[in-house]
Amino acid sequence: MEPTVEKLETRFLKSEADLEYIERRLKLDFINSAAVSGCSAEENVTVMLENLKSLKAKHSVLRSQVSKIIDAQKESMEFIRNRVSRTMELVKHCQQASDLETESLAESEQESTMYLDTTIVQITVEV
């Protein structure tokens, strides 16, 4: 799910750059068209800039929401990792206390452990 959120954040960053480009381009186009037609370019540009500012504000709100989602996802993953780790420690303690032999982890359990360790490293590197 994290890669999806990162892709979404990248798209928002690109769309913000696109909006800035469009804003500059519209200013230039309206100035040029007003010079040719004799209309008041300032009036047209003002209306368009207000619309663009509104779009940028909405875009900023969406970006902040994506950031909050990313933070919540990281927090929940850390919580899950901590719970799984505690559970594994409790199981080991119970096995040792009851003098039961510890079986080696199944292949799927080993993959899960490796995945959790890898994810912890990735989150640490990102932060």
What is the per-residue DSSP string for 38-88?
Answer: ---HHHHHHHHHHHHHHHHHHHHHHHHHHHHHHHHHHHHHHHHHHHHHHHH
pTM summary value: 0.46
Helix (H) or strand (E) holding 89: helix 41-97
How does pLDDT run across 47-89, given as a tens digit for each residue? 777 778 888 888 888 888 888 888 888 888 889 888 988 998 8
78-81 long-range contacts (CB < 8 A, ≥24 apart) are 78/123, 81/116, 81/119, 81/120
What token pair was written down for 54? 């509104």
Nearest Cα neighbor of 33 from 23, 25, 22, 41 is: 41
Query: CA distances (Å), 112 to each of 27, 88, 105, in order?
Result: 55, 12, 10
* pLDDT band per the 50, 70, 90 thresholds, residue 125: very low
How does pLDDT run across 78-92, given as a tens digit for each residue? 898 889 889 988 888
Residue type (1 letter), 121? V
